[in-house]
Structure 1
Amino acid sequence: MFTFQVDTNLLYTGCNNQSVERDQTCCNNLAKERDQLQASITNLAKERDQLQASNTNLAKERDQLQASNTNLAKKRDQLQASNTNLVKERDQLQTSYTNLAKERDQLQTSYTNLAKERDQLQASNTNLAKERDQLQASNTNLAKERDTLQRKLSELDGNINKAGWMYFRSSIYYMSTEKKSWTESRQDCKNKGADLVIINSREEQFVEMIRKGQEAWIGLSDINQENGWKWVDGSTLNTRFWCSREPNNYEGNEDCVITDILNTWNDIKCSVRISWICEKKVSI
């Protein structure tokens, strides 16, 4: 701190040539100026000290800012390096993303194709399952038919091989060695699981072969209604092989029919005892 001293002696010497009153006034003014200067000096000293303190603080702040700036520069460099690395990583990721997008598209295409193949295979599998079920059902039906045919074949074989029976066109025929009435003859056929023969065609007249010239009852009569000729199965007579002038109901009650030695038909009384021919239908 500097001091400023005013030499009062010099002030008084300057005033010697003036009057005391004027001198006194002058001294008073000078004293005031001195005090003002002293106050101004004090204020300036305070301001100087404040400025000095402020300058010290600013220097500290400058140093702090300089250090902060150095740190920021380091951080900037680090961030710049980090940014460079991030750019590289971004580019690598972009390349990887592009490759993955291509792979995704390829996989999507592959998935679409596989989905189509799956749907086609599913449809094919469904059709095959239907065909399998149909074949299984068909196989089951064929197995049933086979078993039925096997059973019928066994029955047919048993029927064909029965003693005294002859097979012809889905029927077997039996020529009796006894003689009975038409009703008794029919009952005997029924007991054998058959009935008196029905002749619907010239071919069935083959029974002549098994009759060996004998007369035999056949399954035709008009017992229920005169001239209402019907076969034992209830069917109406259509094919006829009557002998000349037959049927004639000679002497009445000729309601039953025989096939005679000429292989034609005659109506005679049902009570006459004659051989008979049984017929049993067999089928495969």
Structure 2
Amino acid sequence: MFFIGTLAGCEAASEGRQVRSGNAAAVGLGLLCFILLAVIVGLSIKHNAEIQQIQNSYTNITLERDQLQTSYTNITLERDQLQTSYTNITLERDQLQTSYTNITLERDQLQTSYTNITLERDQLQTSYDNLTLERDGLQNIFCPPGWKKFMSSCYYISINMQTWDQSRMDCRGKGRGADLVIINSREEQEFIKRQGKGVWIGLTDAEEEGVWKWVDGSPLTTRFWMAGEPNSFARAEDCVFSKVGTFTLQTWLDMPCCAENIWICEATLSSS
């Protein structure tokens, strides 16, 4: 009986130890599970942080890539524009070079033409001078000694001074139809002016005041009056004097016929 009781006590003690052992195992297992869960949670948090970091890095890299792509596109566009500009400038340069070459050629041709024309001009001037000398030599043959030839007339310039009427008388006394000079053209006025002397000319209004006529009775048509002339001062200036020293062809002024001056005669060119 005692033995049976003892066995029962042993079994109870054994069950107690088993219960305590099971509780300890459960606690250990729970603790292990908690630790494992904490590790898992920690790893999960770390993993999520790494994923977020990687995601951020990816986003930044993607943004940089897009910016680089945009920069690349812009640079490529600029390069193409520069290439186009370079091509255009090169074309313009070539066109300018061609134009420069053409202009240089034209200039050289013009220079050659100018040189040739200058040479021809000089040759023609020489020929003209020679012909002028020959003409003057031939023309002087037909004018009396002491007379000068111009166009179809001979001219004589006096060396002394007389009144207008005395001067005309001297001219008419020289024969050949001579008289005080009648100026019919600008060229003849230039010839008279070139003689460098102030002279009586064959123009007067002695017959009718203000009506100027040449000594052959022809009316005045070509005029070379000085400024303010004729002024017929005191109505006593009826004869015309061609003054020396003016810068223009306007050399005529009216003077009293009694004044004494050098005179110039004109005669028709002789054919013998």
Q: Same fold (TM over 0.5)?
A: no
Shorter-normalised TM range: 0.3 to 0.5
Larger radius of gyration: 1
Normalising to structure 1: TM-score of the pair? 0.43
